[in-house]
Homo-oligomer: A and B are copies of this chain.
Amino acid sequence: MKIKVIVTLKKGVLDPQGKAIQQTLNGMTFSDVKQVRQGKYFDIDVNMEDEKKAKARVEEMCKKLLANLVIEDYKIL
């Protein structure tokens, strides 16, 4: 089954990529954008039927590879 994960920078960690997007949007017709934060999205197809087990497995992957827990948070959807 497919499990979706979002990895985002923790609050307080600088996000120059998001800042660049925000400034570009402001310079276009979107002056009402106050802030943009960018993150990563993963769609992981695990060979498991049980949703709970699959999510536990994906959580393990997040801790070991997908997210850098020093500066990032993950959220399993």
Contacts and interface: CB of A to CB of B under 8 A. Distances in A.
A65 interface: yes
A63 B66 CA distance: 28
Interface string A30-60: 1011111111111111111000000001001
Given A37-B42, A40-B40, A43-B39, A65 B21 contact: yes
A34 to B, nearest CB: 4
A30 B57 contact: yes
Interface size class of A (residues with CB under 8 A): 20 to 34
A69 to B, nearest CB: 16
Given A33-B47, A40-B41, A44-B36, A28 B64 contact: yes
